[in-house]
Amino acid sequence: MKKNSFLFHLIHSLTKPEKRFFKLQCSLQSGDKNYLVVFDAIEKMETYSEQELLKSIKKQNILKNLPVYKNYLYSQILKSLRIYKESKEPELFNLLLEAEILERKTLDIPCKDRLEKALKLAFKNHSYSIAILILMQLAKIATKIQRKSIAKDVEEYYRQGIEVMNALQEEFHNSKIYYKLFIAKREADPEKIKTLLDDLNLEFERLTPPKSGNFYASLHYFHTMAFLCMLRKKAKESNTYFKEIVDLWEAHPKLIANDTYRYKIHVFNYLQNCSPLRKYEEFEETLAKLRKVPSSSPLEEKATFSNSFYLELIYYMNTNQWEKAKAIVPEIEAGLKKYEAIMTPGRVTSYHYNITVLYMTLEEFETAQDWLNKILHSDRAEPRKDIQRSARILELVIHYELGNDRVIDYLFKSVRNKLRSNLLPFEEICLKYLKDLPYTLSGAAKQKLFKQFNDELLNLPNDGILGLDEISNWVKSKLKKNEVRRSL
């Protein structure tokens, strides 16, 4: 994220209640409120553009001091959010504030009472970093109160403090390993992953489920084990840990209410992990339940759309419910139009690719070509090079089905040139047969070519090559002389 888009991101992450509260806070202020003009202009943008912002603001005095107004607006929004958070979750903040006031007034007994209530709330919310500070303050206050049990009280606070420190240490240690694995998985470099797994092998052996009951330590532990199993190609074990994450959240409904975005992302991760295992028993029910959880911000709303429809589409396609998959395409198209500018390019391209495959399977090749063109002619930076490569092969198949032999001639050299860098055996086979098929007129000769095509594809190792399943199914349909969907 670029630095000049931080304000845009902050504004677009505000929930409706947060926006109302911010505007209310601003209305109570006197004096210059030109920063609200900047707020309104940025709020209307779908993507951030400094040039568009300058065009939309007409007042010259604002334009001359735009950086100043932007900085002031940023600080005012943060200030408003601080106040809003305190007003929304007042009890813990108020107890700590009252305890501080009472200590200054040397009212130690009521101060201790407030701190003990705050400690219970901190434990209830798994806010261990706050709990340790409260325990230290309680030990300090206990020494000021003239009681026979002073030594026992202080000892008890520090005993609890050691337990909290152990819980925090578990959380810190598990999060450290988790993020190392997360970064390695995202880079997808086999050598780096192997080196990291070797380096961390001893730490993995020492990993055990947290004993402290710390929610976040448990969360990082299950995530670490899920990623570790995934990187070690143990899909079923990985899925078990992803399910543990969901169960952990659902055992803490208050934490879900406080962080619906994170909860939904973790459930989506579990469902996505279920997909390659064809573990669909609770898929539709879980997806419907997630959609009913209200989104707390426009960004969460975007994430809910992006993940839920993506998983639903794959689910219908993997279970051969092609008409149901087709039925949700208009909703996906509307969502892409609304959110595409703030979605990751990789996710958008994945949508385009899956819908292309959907229409190819339904043998609606003109519509498939329309969706494929969204990949081939995108002006956004494309991180999914595998999709780009597979799309070139699918393009030749679509034009073959549409009878566009001259187009295939024109495209063939272009496709080969684009794929010539590290041409895969799968791509080599496809190009060889797709070059000859348009000019093979005899039905028997075509069947012979498709038989050879199929045999060579069958001999390839099925190690996750994108496009292999799609092309194999198409070739099988030609051999069996039936619809593509009947060959699955």
Of the candidates 129, 152, 170, which is a domain's last residue? 170
Residues 390 and 482 in one domain: yes
Query: Is it the case that residue 90 has pLDDT exceeding 70?
Result: no
Mean pLDDT for all residues in the chain: 86
The terminus-to-terminus CA distance of the chain in angstroms comes to 42
Assigned domain for 308 exists = no
Specify the pLDDT at position 73: 92
Of the candidates 46, 71, 88, which is a domain's last residue? 88
Assigned domain for 329 exists = no
Assigned domain for 96 exists = yes
Helix, coil or strand: residue 294? coil
Candidate from 231-240, 336-345, 452-461 with smallest mean pLDDT: 336-345
Specify the pLDDT at position 383: 66
Specify the pLDDT at position 87: 57
pLDDT tens digits, residue range 115-167?
A: 999 999 888 888 888 888 899 999 989 888 877 788 888 999 999 999 889 88
Q: Domain span at residue 392?
A: 375-488
Specify the pLDDT at position 338: 86
pLDDT tens digits, residue range 194-252?
A: 777 777 776 777 777 887 788 988 998 899 889 888 888 889 999 999 999 999 999 99
Residues 64 and 114 in one domain: no
Residues 151 and 96 in one domain: yes
Residues 97 and 14 in one domain: no
pLDDT tens digits, residue range 395-405?
A: 999 999 998 88
Specify the pLDDT at position 247: 94
Split into its structural domains, the chain has a count of 3
Residues 57 and 136 in one domain: no
Specify the pLDDT at position 297: 80
Specify the pLDDT at position 311: 94
Distance of CA 107 to the CA centre of its chain: 49
Residues 71 and 164 in one domain: no
The whole-angstrom separation of Cα 150 and Cα 143 is: 6
Of the candidates 53, 88, 123, which is a domain's last residue? 88
pTM above 0.85, yes or no: no
Sign of CA dihedral 217, 277, 315, 379: positive
Residues 72 and 107 in one domain: no
Residues 57 and 128 in one domain: no
Q: Summarize the confidence of residues 455-484 as an average pLDDT.
A: 88
∠ CA 205-209-213, nearest 5°, is 150
